[in-house]
Amino acid sequence: MVQLVALALVGVLGWYGYNAFKKEMAKTNNQVRKAEKDNAGTISELEKDPETGVYKPKKRD
């Protein structure tokens, strides 16, 4: 009987840990998506400088 109680306790703790992990991963995912949205458009295309052969960010008009 003690083994059954211990097994049930381990199961409940595992379930609680799994749900806490899912919640934390969803929060992290939302933070990453927000950061991606905030940085959208800040990365410019590169163009090769014909004189030096070095790639530089394309100038915006």
> Hey, CA dihedral for 43, 47, 51, 53, is it positive or negative?
positive
Q: For residue 48, is it within any domain?
A: no
Q: Is residue 18 part of a domain?
A: yes
Q: 22 in a domain, yes or no?
A: yes
Q: What is the DSSP string of 14-51?
A: HHHHHHHHHHHHHHHHHHHHHHHHHTTT-SPPEEE-TT
What global pTM score does this model have? 0.58
Q: What is the pLDDT of residue 2?
A: 95
At 14 the pLDDT is 98
Q: Is the residue at 50 inside a domain? A: no
pLDDT confidence bin for 41, thresholds 50/70/90: low
Rounded to the nearest integer, the mean pLDDT of the chain is: 91
Q: Is residue 24 in a domain?
A: yes
Which is more confident, 60 or 28?
A: 28
Number of structural domains found in the chain: 1
Indicate whether 21 belongs to any domain. Answer: yes
For 29, the domain range is 11-37
